[in-house]
Structure formats: C-alpha cells, structure tokens
Structure 1
C-alpha cells in the first residue's frame, strides 16, 4: 500500500522535524506546504496522490480549522493528523470538528510529536484503508480467522508484571491477549487483530474468552506469597465502555471466582475520546464497586488533564514514547515530574510503561511513588512461564 504524506505547517523547522519522523516509518513520500492556501491548491489537483495530511492549527491567513473545513467540502478521502502546539482544549475541539465532518481523523497530537505517535496514526490509516476496500493488509488477521480463534478457544492469556520502584515488590499484572491461528504454534499479538475485531463487533466475545481463561489462572497465581496483594489489569476500549453492563459483568466474574473487586483494574486505551455520558457512567460505576480504572498509553491519545481531575481514575500509565530515552530527554523528564506531582495530589497511582533500557531504569529508580512495566522488568509470559519466573524470583528473595 502506497502512503504519501502532506504536511501543512507554516514553521519550516516543524515541517522538517515531522518529515524526519515520517521517513523513519514505512511511508513512500513526504512533502510539505508552508501555508494552507498552497496546500488547498495542491490537494484540489492531486488529492488522490496523498493518503495522509498533517495540519497545524495556528497558521496565518487561512488557519488550520478553516483548512480542515475546506478539505471536508472537497471530500478528501485520506486521513487527517492534527499536530499543534496550541492548548489541549483547542486541539480537542478541532478533533471533534473533524470527527463530525466527512474527514477521517487519525490522531490529534500535541507538539512536540514523537515518531511512535505518528506510527500509531499511520497504522490507523492502514486499517481504515483495509476496511474500506475489503483487501486484507499484510500481517492483519481477517475477521473470519479471529472468529475461528474465538470459537475454537485459541485465546491465550499472557501476563506482564508491574513492579514498585521503591520496594521492588510486584504490584500487579496486566493480562494481554494472544491468538493461536489454526494449528500453528506461533501466537498472534494484539496489533494484528484488536482493531479488526472491534470494527467487526467481535471484541466483546474476544474479551469474554480472555477473561474466562485468565481468571482461573489468576486464582492460582495469587497463591504465590509475592502475589497475594497484587491486582490484575484487563483492557477495555472506550467503545466497550460505551456499552451498558460491563461493570455488572466484571462484578459477576469477581463473585464467581472469589476475587476481590479491589484487586481488579480496567485499563482504558486512549485510541478514542472519552466524551460519552455512558463511558463516564461506566467508569464511575466501576470505581463505586472498588474496581480500579487506569488510563493506558497516556500521552499518545485524547485524555487531557481536565478529565484526569474529573474522572475517578485510580491509575495512570505513561506511554512508552515518554519513557524510552527519558534518561537523556529533558522534555520527557519534565513531563514525568509534572505528572508525578499531579497524580500525587489526585491520589492516582503512576506507572511507567515500556522500560527497556538500563539507562532509563537507572533514571526512573530515582523517582518516588512510581511503578515500572516493560521488557526489562518482565516480558509478557503465558501462565506456565510466569509460574517459573515467580518461583525463581522467590528463590532469589529467600537466598
């Protein structure tokens, strides 16, 4: 699939930085326009030549909002990425405007933008194109393959530990989904099937199967001395939160498996805006029943500080893009310290995801009141491997 990108930003340095990010990704061509008028002229003639348009909001003469409205009238078929240094409320308002139009929003990002954030947006475009033309993108599972895996119970729970930085104790485990395709031993990771399952109304069935397999294993994991106070985290999307009954369903799982609700946490992915009354109600109902609620991948999606203040969130997980290279990145260090102060005042537990570099680990060890998750701490493991890891860890503690 050919992907050409057009960047619309009056800042030459911003255009160059964004171009460098995109060239690290699997795109074919990156061009830029320094003003919206020339971009409109270009797209009027060659709109089919560009699959992704990146737009700044604050530009002279024709600003980003007006530019987006003109693209909507042109019925531009590609994906839109908003990349702006303006305050989050303006960026959020612009993203809602795009979603209400005929345009397809891939992401609303605050500058400075990272390569990883753009990678997510590019993958969203690939998925949109895959769904739009019925052609399966290389690497993605088809919905028929996903349904066969669900019906034949090929849903394998994997577990990744979170460790408290101060004490070194295990705080909890995130349960991750793997699919076994056919009779092959190789397991498929969520990036190859989650979005396809959600777009085809199969994600609830997938989540239910995962819970059915994970909860009994979790009961056995909890018997380890180091895990008796740990929590188990499961993932739900904003779209799932918008459906009624999830808090009741999770309470039933807890009752049936003698699991205290306070030891269960729901992680909400940031791939969509949390702006529906039903979503807010579900979050409140989960917390009223002592089930934890975490915002996952914070820093790459839509959740803003005002939502952190108003929603009863119990945990905040900083995305790996903010953690990777933090030992040498003053901007990421400032963001971490700010989030540490905010989360402390709000009583929100802070988790740093994607800890994979020893230098980053050494830096994070100096930060108080934070838990770590990543390959350097513990790789995702199926039940049998996790049991071996826990036994080895307990032997080290006893030695």
Structure 2
C-alpha cells in the first residue's frame, strides 16, 4: 500500500516515516507542503491507499485539505494527526466522515507506535470486512423480490452484563443473502425500504424470525432478551402492537423478553404520533429502547415523553472513551440520568478492553460490540457462547 504523509513539521514527518517503516510500510511518500501533496494526489488519486494529514499547516490547513480531497475524488483511507485540543481533533474527524471519506481515526501528537499500529489494524480490518455489495446500488424491485424470495436473514450480536459477563440478550440485525453479491449489509437496502414503502414488510420478516429464534432459545433453556430495530413508519400502523403480540405467542416468546429499539432521530420527525403505539407496546410489557442516544437533537424530550425502559448509548460516545475525558463526562452524565429514571443502560461499540473497564467503573449495565462478539447467524451462537465462557472471566476479574 502506498502511503502519503503530509505535515509541515519536519521532525513529526521523520518520526511518522520511521514508525511506518518499523511496522513494515516502506512505500511512503512524505510532503511538508499541503499543495505539493495535493498536486501528487490530483495526478492520480487512486495511487495512494492511505493519507496521514496534519491539521495545523500553513497556507492550507487540515480542514481545507480534507475539502480538497473530496474535490479530487480521493477514495483511500485518511488519518488525521494533530497536537491540537482533543475536541478540535475529534470535530475535524467528524467533519471528514460527514464528507463520506474513509476516515480511520485521529492521532494525537506525538504519535506513539502503539497508537499508529492500532489505527493501521483498523485499516486492515475494514478492508477484510468490506462487503462486495458496497459497490452496488439496489432497486426497490430487487428488494421486493428478495422479500418474496426469503433472501433476508437475521444475524445476532450478543449483549452481555458488564458486571458478570453473563450473556443476557442479542440484537437482531438484518442481512440480505444475495444470490450473486453474497451477504449484503443493511445500510445498502434499509433506506430503500423506508423510501419505497417496503419497511413494514422488512420489519415483519426480521421480527417474526427473531421471535422464532427467541422462542427456540427459551424452550432450550436460554432465556435471552431479543432486541429488534423498528422504523418510524412501523409506528404509524395502529395494529402494530397487536401484530407483535400475535407473532410472539405463535413463536412461544415471552413479551417481557422482547425489546424494540427505536432510533431517536426517527422519533423526532413527529414526536406525538407514535405515542399511541409505544404506550400500548409498554402496556403489553414489551421493552422500549432509545437507540443511538445522544446523536439526535431532542434526547431529553424523548425521555420525558415516551416510556422507554432502556437507554442505548451510541458507539461514538463509547469507542475510545477511555482516552477521551470529554466522552467520559458525557458517558457518566448519561448513565447517571438513566439510573435516576430507572432505565437499563447499554453501551454499543465496545471494542477495547480499556473502554470495557471504564464502563464497568461507571456502572453501565450491558455491553455490545466486537470485543464481545460480532453479529452471527443464530446457529453460531452456541459455539460463540462456549468461547465467551472461556474468556469472560478475564474481563470481569477486577472489581468494578
């Protein structure tokens, strides 16, 4: 992989070059002027697979450099490097992501070898996990055929107790088993379903499958809580709670072990119309989770108006929180508020041991993320559970 490093600080440039060489990356081009780097990229943007860019540079600063990367159509990876305040660095990172650049992360100066190695490992993982379907755009007709042809399947991501490590539940995540493209991730088709009136059918397929698996787990002595994502459009169908109750009864799944996750940004489109349905769901003892908490604009209003039982903290506040004092403040405040409201708390995006330790210290209830387990077919859950039982003791050995 060809790497481009852009930094006006000669010492920082040499240090990063040396560290990359120590990690086995010898094909590195260094530029101490942003204009020179842009000239190289403009001649062939596809030539470089990864760019390291300092934020504080004369003539063209890092933010403007990011804008120019978008202009020239750069599609490789981007890592931001800076000695600036942590919040400035993270804001610049979010800005680059908003431009749909492939941002690996941000590194604080002076860059350590371990931090660099961790970032580059993310690059490798993202390449290995990137689905072939990312290059495809699907039509509503293709999705309709997939629904009719039973091509949509559920994967399940484990959720475990931070205190004990015990498996307490799973989240259902839909996948499209495409006959030509393989396993297609939901970001490539859920938006199509919402836009073209297919979301009710999609949700029903996911829900019925999840209830069937949940009922089988209960019958087999594994009483897991099963979480299913629902769309704002589902909350406009008045008989939705009755449909859920019927399907759960048919599957032998207790309603008390079902959680419906609602993304708060969806609720904000019309905060009043879903109240009828959400209240009826709670009357049936179905749990309600406010998903991606903290990423919308009226989180507190939603907590005030809707009988949520669970607060799910978005991964953007969890991942790397052990290294970020600002994220820690947000986490602690969110967890304290949830406790006072009598809500269970779930931290998603748990990928690092240090973040696990932090959330345990903060008395968060449940963790979900790659540190625990990736989404998997229902048939793979028993094997994962045996593997997890072998390593959960290490994660829970210290007192919280």
TM-score, normalization: structure 1? 0.65
Assess, with a 3 A threshold, how the Cα gap between structure 1 residues 120 and 210 changes in structure 2: closer, same or farther.
Answer: farther
Please report how far the alpha carbon of residue 192 of structure 1 lies from its aligned counterpart in structure 2 after TM superposition.
0.6
**Bigger Rg over Cα:** 2
- Give yes or no for contact 2:212–2:252 (8 Å, CA) kept in 1: no
Please report how far the alpha carbon of residue 171 of structure 1 lies from its aligned counterpart in structure 2 after TM superposition.
1.9
Q: Supply the distance in 1 between the matched residues of 2:168 and 2:378 (Cα, whole angstroms).
A: 17
2:104 aligns with: none
1:215 aligns with: 211
2:259 aligned with 1:265, yes or no?
Answer: yes
Residues 127-146 of structure 1 mapped to structure 2, 5 A cutoff: 138-146=135-143
Please report how far the alpha carbon of residue 266 of structure 1 lies from its aligned counterpart in structure 2 after TM superposition.
0.5
1:99 aligns with: none
Q: Supply the distance in 1 between the matched residues of 2:385 and 2:359 (Cα, whole angstroms).
A: 23
Q: Secondary structure at the match of 2:153?
A: strand
- Give yes or no for contact 1:274–1:280 (8 Å, CA) kept in 2: no
Give 5+ residue unaligned stretches, structure 1: 1-12, 31-111, 124-135
2:290 aligned with 1:281, yes or no?
Answer: no
Q: Supply the distance in 2 between the matched residues of 1:279 and 1:212 (Cα, whole angstroms).
A: 21
Q: Supply the distance in 2 between the matched residues of 1:380 and 1:301 (Cα, whole angstroms).
A: 25
Give 5+ residue unaligned stretches, structure 2: 1-55, 74-89, 102-132, 394-400
Q: Supply the distance in 1 between the matched residues of 2:68 and 2:173 (Cα, whole angstroms).
A: 26
Residue 196 of structure 1, aligned match among 192, 195, 198? 192
Please report how far the alpha carbon of residue 23 of structure 1 lies from its aligned counterpart in structure 2 after TM superposition.
2.8
2:340 aligned with 1:345, yes or no?
Answer: yes
- Give yes or no for contact 1:266–1:292 (8 Å, CA) kept in 2: yes
2:22 aligns with: none
Q: Secondary structure at the match of 1:162?
A: strand
2:149 aligned with 1:155, yes or no?
Answer: no
Residues 281-360 of structure 1 mapped to structure 2, 5 A cutoff: 281-360=276-355
For the aligned residues, what is the CA RMSD?
A: 3.3
Q: Secondary structure at the match of 1:317?
A: strand
1:280-308 superposed Cα distances (whole Å, 9 cap, x missing partner):
22111111110001011112224421321
Instruction: Report how many aligned residue pairs link the two structures.
Output: 289
- Give yes or no for contact 2:214–2:253 (8 Å, CA) kept in 1: no
Residue 381 of structure 2, aligned match among 369, 380, 386? 386
Q: Secondary structure at the match of 1:222?
A: helix
